[in-house]
Structures are given as C-alpha cells and as structure tokens.
Structure 1
Amino acid sequence: MRQGASLTDVYAKAQLPQDDAASETTMAELLADYVDLKRPVEMGFSRRVAQSVGDMAMGAGLPQSVCEQLMRAALMYRLGQVSVSNAVLNAATVLPPTEREEVRLIPYWTERMLHSAPAFDEERRLASFAFERLDGSGFYRGAKAAIIPMSSRILQVAIIVTSQRYDGQPETAIHARLHNQVQAGQLDAQAVACVRSGERRSQSQAPKPLMHLAAREQQVLEQLSRGHSNKVIARQLGLSPKTVGTYVENLYRKLEVSSRAAAVLRAMDLGLLAIS
C-alpha cells in the first residue's frame, strides 16, 4: 500500500465498512489482523501484544476503561506498517538510512490514519508514543518524558516484553534489557514495575485451556504460531515433514479451521497458546 494510505483504504482492504456496527474492539482486532497479513510470519502477533497488555494492565489494577483503551492501542500501534513496502519490512540486512526512516515513520502514519476514526482518538494518542523513549531517543517525534503519558509508557514496556518472548528470548535477557533501558533513562521504572506486577497476578489467575492437545500437537502448534513451515518444524522437533503434516491436519480438525493463521488465532482464543 502506498505511503500515506488513509484508514478508509484499510477499511476497504479489510472488507470492514466505516459504519460497521461492530464494537470498537472488534474493529481494532480486524484492523490488527489485516496489518499482520503484511508479514504472515507475524500473523496473530498484534493480538498477542494486545492480550498481554490487557492482562498486565488488569493485573496491575488499572481501571477497566484504561485497560480496554490500552488493548485497542496495542492492536493498532503498527497500523502504519501498511504504508511501508514489504521489501523493507522483510529485509534481512541492515537497512540504508532512507529505508530506516520509512520504518521510523510507522507511528506517524498510524497516527495520521487514525485521525479519520474519532472513536479511536485516545487509542491514537497512546499508540503514537509506542516507539518513543523517555530520553528522546525514540521515534517518530523524538518525544521526551514530559509529554509521554503513563499509559503509553506501560504500552512501550509491554511491547518490548511480548516482542522479546515472541523471538524466543529467555526471561533473564528480557529482564536485563528492561533494567538497562530504565537505567539509561529510556523506560519508566514505574511502568516496568506495573507490567511485572500485572503479569504475576494475571498468570496466577489464568484459566485452564478449554481443549486438551497431545504433547506433540502442542509443540507443533507453538511452532506454527511462529510462522514456521512444515520442513522447519520437522527439523526443530526431529520429525519427518510428513509426520508434521499429519499433526497439522489433526490440529485443523480439532480446532475446526482450515488454515495456519486461523489455527493460531483459534488456539489463542481457547487458551492453548500463551499470549506473550
């Protein structure tokens, strides 16, 4: 999609009319799923971030309205990605300055696009600070602590934690990164404490899955959630691609879906995948 695409364009691509009667959260979820399609390997990632943010915020005792706004902001904070080419988003090498600037403008385009959706005014404001840092080293504004709201500071921490876990980073490394960024004046210590406290409480209250999967099925499902092909999953788990294919078909049958992306989203809804 071209740079500067409007939210109307995204609504049209997502087949969601602007006067849709669905709730604001449902609209945000549909937009998030559409954005994730830019990089199929990340399908479901925006929902993971949103669920993590919601769990952390509720566990920390924040008001329900604030929790809901944070979740919607987390669903849409990458909306501006639709204005960046797939070649840039999927680049395997260090980006040159001009293309790096395209990435840094993602929150700018997110804010611009959400201007046409008044119902998301507060979410737009929170999401626009998602990549800022308290010392002014973030983007796109280079904003400093004085103008970054507390809710956005919590969102920043939750995004880092969820992204690092999604990439398979150990908890010790995640903790060290948060500590270092607090010490460097980039992240808010209170926001980090809020996220950590919320995590502990939400984990202790987490519901049990509504469906049981065999151990191998669960392993294959977790690999699917990372966007891996059958060949990669086979190599990771020491199985043959044909055996992996059988497990995938079994998952489709149990989850009553017909695609990998749908399987991941359905598994998240059922509590079969950790939203982290």
Structure 2
Amino acid sequence: MTGSPRRRWTWGASRAGRCSSAGTSGRAWSRPPPRPTVPADGAPASAVRRPAAGRTGCPGAASAADVFRTFLPAVASGTAAEALGLAEAGEIRLAGHLHDVGRVGISSRIWNLTRPWTAAEEDQARLHAYHTERVLARTPELAQVAELAAAHHERCDGSGYHRGLRGDRLTIGARVLAAADTYRTLVEDRPHRPGLPAARAWQRLEADVRAGLLDADAVAAVLAAADGSARRRPSGAAGLTARQLEVLRLVAHGLSNREIARRLGVSPRTVDRHVSDVYQRIGVSSRAAAAMFTIEHGLAGPVRASGSSESGQEAESR
C-alpha cells in the first residue's frame, strides 16, 4: 500500500532531537540541523557563516538560523561593549545570547510567513520582547539581565517596544544590544526576504542614527565589531576611556572629587585631571551638565559599590 512517508520523532544517543521518516520500503533517514561556524576568539562577528533560513521540520527543534539569531548579537554586542570600555560587557554579551528567548511564546506560523506581516501579526510578534523579560526574570541567576535583554527593540526616540522607552531611560548596554540586533536583522535571511549585504546594512544603521533611532556610539562600536576593523572602533563611549567613563558615572551620581578619589583608590589630583579631561571630551563645564550628558547618552549604568558609607550615596543606578 503506497502513501506519503510517515514521520516520527526519535532521540539519538546525543540527546539531540532528529526528524525521521520511513516509507514502505523500510528505509529511514535522519538529519540533524546544520550548525553555524563559530569563529575563534577575537574574530569579527562577520566571521560567523550565516545558515540558510528555514526550519528542520522537527517539532520544537531549533534551526541553525535560530542559533545564528542569538549568536551574532551576542558576539557583536559583547565585543562592542568591551571596545566601549563598559564594566558590564559580560552581562551585555549574555543578554545578546538570551534576547530572543521570548520567541518561543509566539506561534511559529508568524515567524515562518513568506509575506510581510499584517498589523495584527506584527503586534503579536512584538510580544516576544515582553515574553523574554518574563521568562528571564523567573530565574534568579538571569534576573539581572532580563530587563536589558528585553530592551533590544527599544529606540532612542521612544518608538520602540515593548516599553517604548526614550533615550534618557536606555542604558548604553541597551543601546548596544539594540544596534547589534538591528544589524543581525538586516543581514539575516528571512522567510519573506533575503538578507542585505553588509555594506547596505551599514548604510541602514547609519540612517537610523541620523533619524534619532539608534545611538551613534553604539552603532559605531557594533559595526566595528562586525567588521573587525579597529579604525571604526571608538576608544570608549563618547570617546572616553574605561576609567574616564567610570569617573563620569560617579560625578553623575553626585560624588565629589575627593569621594571619587577614595572610591577609586587614587589621589584627588588624579581625579581632578580625569574630570577635566572628561568635561573637555564631552563639551560641558559643570557637574549638572555632565549628569545630563550621562542620562541623555544612556551612560548612567551601575557603579562599583564602596565599602565605606560615603554621604549615604547609593552605588546603584536605577
């Protein structure tokens, strides 16, 4: 009796799920999903070979495109954060790996459509950022990156989702992750359209910067990470070194130069020099203006806690 091949779900010794089908001939086949090539440490994010779009047909199985979807933002955002001298680079890289976990809460029918979404379908797909935050927040070890991972579709002008945060409420980590995810979205093949060449993706990102959607420093760092080009990599956020960024954050938190010196274990004169250099680089002349610059550019991240009780200052930015 002839008919269409039967499909069954089998588990191999490696515990990786595979799709198998067998016809009346009794012959069976099994094929694991392809995997993206992982570059060596220090290689640019563009060294990841992009797999073809599409799924394996296995219920519940992740395709190679799913793996790529999280790997590229993690590499690009982590490398960019390190280039910007951010102390939380590790958290940003982890958020890059986890930012799309909420996609499992949306029907695969939406993701696999070969035509542009309707307004209702787009609204449904946008819920994945909310689901990401909910899923990660339930795990104590991941709760600290839940809000960051869920912010990968936020935009500096407040037009993003799922919270619609404006630039003054987005940390530099969220801005970096948003730029990395946007780059990945542009170069990745989708069921309804092929990915763009890297050069076209760069142009689109730079256009988003001009439109006030993405942060200029974050985009420059992500493009440098994706290209592996040191000439595009800034020395730090707004051109600041890691130490200068740390000093700027402490100034924004209201600490005096003497308190900053005690916090960092350096002399007040050294702090005076750092503060002067920071003011010159960001184009301000007062602490109030420096604090405003920090907020507007999403640099008001957490600062290192101090063992001393200095003026009751909190060592954490909310």
TM range (shorter): 0.5 to 0.7
Q: CA deviation at 1:91?
A: 1.0
CA RMSD in angstroms comes to 2.6
One-letter amino acid of the counterpart of residue 112, structure 1: R
Q: CA deviation at 1:80?
A: 0.9
- Which residue of the other structure, out of 190, 195, 199, is the alignment partner of 1:172? 199
1:78 to 97, 100, 124: 100
Residue 49 of structure 1 corresponds to 73
* Post-superposition offset of 1:202: 7.3
Structure with max Cα Rg:
2
2:216 equivalent to 1:189: yes
Q: TM-score, normalised by structure 1?
A: 0.55
User: Which runs of 5 or more structure 1 residues have no equivalent in the other structure?
Assistant: 1-13, 15-36, 205-276
Partner of residue 162, structure 1: 184
Asked if 1:97 corresponds to 2:119, the answer is: yes
- Cα deviation, residue 84, structure 1: 0.4
| Paired letter, 2:143 | D
Identity of aligned residues (%): 30
Write 1 or 2 for the structure with the bigger share of strand.
2
Q: TM-score, normalised by structure 2?
A: 0.48
- Check the 8 A contact 1:60/1:195 in 2, yes or no: no
Partner of 1:114: 136
After the TM superposition, list the runs of 4 or more consecutive aligned residues in structure 1 that deviate by more than 6 angstroms. Answer: none
Greater per-residue helix proportion: 1
Aligned to 1:62: 86
Does structure 1 conserve the Cα–Cα contact (< 8 Å) formed by 2:71 and 2:97?
Answer: yes
Structure 2 gap ranges (5+): 1-15, 17-59, 190-194, 232-318
Q: How far is the alpha carbon of 1:124 from its aligned partner? A: 0.7
Q: Is the 8 A contact 2:76 2:222 kept in 1?
A: no
8 Å contact from structure 2 (residues 74, 93) kept in 1: yes
> Compared with structure 1, are the counterparts of its residues 202 and 118 closer, same or farther at alpha carbon in structure 2 (3 Å cutoff)?
farther
Cα pair distance change 1:195/1:52, threshold 3 Å: closer
Read off the aligned partner of 1:124 and give its amino acid letter. Answer: A
- Figure out how many residues of one structure are paired with residues of the other and give that number: 168
Deviations, residues 116-141 of structure 1 (Å, cap 9, x unaligned): 11211221111111001111111112
Please say if residues 76 and 225 of structure 2, whose CA atoms lie closer than 8 Å, have aligned partners that are also in contact. Answer: no
Supply the AA of the counterpart residue of 1:176: Q
- What is the CA–CA distance in structure 2 between the aligned matches of 1:86 and 1:202, rounded to whole Å? 37
State whether structure 2 residue 180 is matched by structure 1 residue 153.
Answer: no
